[in-house]
Structure 1
């Protein structure tokens, strides 16, 4: 029976859930091609993760935690690992586009889904801009190493607000803008082509980082680890919050739910495989960096751009190795931008199919089977962020969106176990219910360490998202037309599980 949003009390509408059976209905002109393999999907996760946390976030995290930044990586990795298990179960049960947003819509209701949509849009949009800014530093370093010239400061650094109200820095970060637009062109060509190129770039990235780790440990100095906990547990927590944004790659895997072959098996394997690779390489590179250089090196803002390349140059006294690392960073961080931009477009695709944003965001090019309009709009917004917002203002903002999303997946697992006990789950989280509870606790611990300004930015953004939802989204929601009153009023999904 067709209903409208006016047929339900507001409270019921905000709590209504998307029935699991809804994912099996085909929508003409709104389907994406299933052509990604498990390996390509795993490389998506590694591609979106390794690079962001290692290539340049050390300069942000080490000053906060000192040598104990290694503990910060472990804390962030533990939270991400617990979250990965939750993602694996949810992705195997609901293998659709939209990742955390879609999971929240099925498990927790429309209002929570809208808030989580705001979180993941903030997470992906700002992360892509932040990574593009970091890529710019390595690109300039590579130009300097290879041809002895680099872009002028005015065209390679974002404007920085001054204390007197006068902006300093440059005019625009042009390399960041160009990077985003190149990724846009690649994504428009097709997801399969993007996945193949990403896999190649990821393998290059891992090789370069292993090279750095080996050379870094040749300059090991135990003094660099003295006063290990000098910054205290507050510093460890703050650094973990900054680092955590780099684990966005786990969520990026789940955004490809409708474009992977055999998603119920491929998604859990890709998520857990990506986490294993990422955690190992993060700890190796962070330890090698601290072994080679003291905390003061990372505290110097002049070393924040292309920091790992500078470490290699000073260790070896030879520019060849630093040039190799700078080239590897330019190639591999490209893959981070590519995958996070991809994730943003697929989440908007899912939101558009649910009617909460204009339908133009789910228009699919019949030739390439990609959401072209969606990709162009997202790319323009992200390019503006990368071109005009300094990286210092972006890291923690990404983390808060990621942490909120990870928490909701864990809560969603517990709710779905109760409301959909008979739902097919090819992968079940071990240690239930302790594991999802620990996931929420770990995420809350890291959230506690974030700066107050990060919470202010987050609150303002979510207020904008909710305003748009009440003004537009709730009146155009697809559930207004395709869900019967009984299912909305009692959204347990139990009745429909027998049909599935």
Structure 2
């Protein structure tokens, strides 16, 4: 007798409001304080203007995400879209640059934990807290404990309360005459001009990481092809509105010459502005919520990237030793350990460098999504079957072209060291492609950034072992 398995389907219960709320929640409004200090320094205190420019750029990209979701309502994000639009080689390189983000996201959280804990316990060096956090996350990763995700709802609720109190106190201080900053002054370009604002907006790209996470709910949306694209755009608008509101509140309440602050003061600027607005009580609450959120983010991001590296090792794209699994807990112990070792660099590199590298990967991915729309809708593989209309040219040609152009502009505003490090990473990815394809004689390996497995797997048709594979 042959057993048959009935496929399980998720219930389609999510409407536009629920999908938008998910996207806004995923972006988390306290992200503003991650880059608060040095983006204010970069823009001369005009953080709201930088966020406004970033939102304009993200809106074009959000429209492009929506267009690609209609075409490919599956997980994978920028990697899937570029792979389907331009082929395996371009897709692999897009995924490779996205992997850079995955590697740096745990690092930024470990660094922030150290910085903010040190503000409350100055006798203990910041690196001690970071090191403890790295060890704890590695332990949880190996044990397979997933309790952090269950606490996320509580952390997010506390974050909303924190931000609401901060905004109220900031405006109370500003409207009470305790500041000389005009209400609209933070939205001007300032002495640095549009160049400084663009440099700040480029860094702020990391604030919008995950706004496309709405696309992972395709199977649970009532009308995915209509509501998910709309929800992506609305999540960008709503999330961006709260980013601007928080940045604006701080700007009009806390008037300071950011150029005089040290690197340590800029890194912990969130504590400084919180203490100025709400005193020690609000500061302690802020640190507790921020550190808890950073630990949860470090846990989930490291779990994802360790499984991507594990699967790349399993499929021979990277050395197969990385695919070793813990016998008792069934977790990728070698890959997880490697990610933790890489995260140790957060003990001696700056927050600014890490955020620049994350923004480098994010902007590269955003650019490819915009270009994928043009390729897919105007120049589809296999040729067009219908004539082009003015509406099609505007929606799938002009808008994504503007989005790609603005993204490249912001991308070029990043520091030189970011381009050097990012270029080295790209060259390494190209070398891997040449190696695993035996000089492009084999199909290019495919990555899978899906929520289900966060894995990387080779094309099924690939017959020969990859160079890093041991002989069977």
Q: CA deviation at 1:313?
A: 2.0
**Cα 1:80/1:429, change in 2 over 3 Å:** farther
Tell me the distance in 2 between the aligned counterparts of 1:32 and 1:374. 33
- Taking the aligned partners of 2:57 and 2:306, their CA distance within structure 1 comes to 26
Q: Does 1:223 find its partner at 2:181?
A: yes
Preserved contact between residue 86 and residue 429 of structure 1 (Cα < 8 Å): no
Match of 2:415 in 1: 451
Matched residue SS, 2:395? coil
Tell me, in whole angstroms, the C-alpha distance in 1 between the residues paired with 2:351 and 2:343: 13
Which consecutive unaligned segments of at least 5 residues does structure 2 have?
A: 1-6, 387-391, 447-457, 463-472
Residue 357 (structure 2) aligns with: 397
**CA displacement 1:306-362 (0-9 Å, x = unmatched):** 32332232334x311211122221223334434544554576588679875568888
Give, in angstroms, the shift of residue 41 of structure 1.
9.3
> C-alpha displacement at 1:283, in angstroms?
0.5
Measured in 1, the distance between the counterparts of 2:181 and 2:410 equals 28
Structure 1 counterpart of 2:125 = 152
Q: What are the superposed Cα offsets for residues 347-384 of structure 1, whole Å, 9 maximum, x if unpaired?
A: 6588679875568888999999x974587256425532
User: Cα distance 1:444–1:333, how it changes in 2: closer, same or farther (>3 A)?
Assistant: same
1:85 paired residue number: 63
What's the counterpart of residue 58 of structure 1?
36
1:141-220 matches, cutoff 5 A: 141=119, 143-144=120-121, 151-153=124-126, 155-156=128-129, 173-178=130-135, 180-181=137-138, 184=141, 188-189=144-145, 195-220=149-174
Please name the residue that 1:491 is paired with. none
Distance 1:430 1:348 in 2: 40
Q: What whole-Å deviation, never above 9, does each CA across 1:112-149 have from its counterpart, x for those lacking one?
A: 112212210112212331232123222333x44xxxx7
Give the conservation status (yes or no) of the 8 Å contact 2:118–2:125. Answer: no
Specify the alignment match of 1:246 in structure 2: 207
Q: Distance in 2 between matches of 1:483 and 1:110?
A: 13
Encode CA deviations 1:83-137: one digit per residue, 9 max, x unaligned: 1222233234324443211221111112211221221011221233123212322
Tell me the TM-score normalised to structure 2 length: 0.75
Give 1:62 deviation, angstroms: 0.9
Structure 1: 5+ residue runs without aligned partners?
A: 1-30, 157-172, 485-500
Q: 1:32/1:483 Cα in 2 relative to 1: closer, same or farther (>3 Å)?
A: farther
Whether contact under 8 Å (2:102, 2:305) holds in the other structure is: yes
Task: State whether structure 2 residue 105 is matched by structure 1 residue 127.
Answer: yes
**For residues 48 and 338 of structure 1, what CA distance do their matches in structure 2 show?**
16
Q: CA deviation at 1:413?
A: 1.5
**CA separation of 1:56 and 1:436: change in aligned 2, threshold 3 A:** same
Distance 1:462 1:453, change over 3 A: same
Name 1:311's counterpart in structure 2.
Answer: 273
> Which residue number corresponds to residue 240 of structure 2?
279
Distance in 1, Cα, partners of 2:99 & 2:12? 23
For the structure 1 residues 333 and 430, does the alpha-carbon distance in structure 2 shift closer, same or farther, using more than 3 Å as the test? farther
* Match for residue 376 of structure 1 among 324, 331, 336: 336
Whether the 8 Å CA contact 2:45–2:258 is kept in 1: the answer is: no
Q: CA deviation at 1:454?
A: 1.3
1:233 paired with 2:206, answer no
CA–CA separation in structure 2 for the residues paired with 1:153 and 1:308: 16
In structure 2, what is the equivalent of residue 332 of structure 1?
293
Q: What is the number of equivalent residue pairs in this alignment?
A: 421
C-alpha separation in 1, matches of 2:258 and 2:209: 27
Looking at structure 2, the residues matched to 32 and 430 of structure 1 have their Cα atoms a distance apart, in angstroms, of: 40
Is structure 2 residue 436 aligned with structure 1 residue 472? yes
User: Residue 73 and residue 431 in structure 1: after superposition, are their counterparts in 2 closer, same or farther (change >3 A)?
Assistant: same
Q: Match of 2:173, SS? A: coil
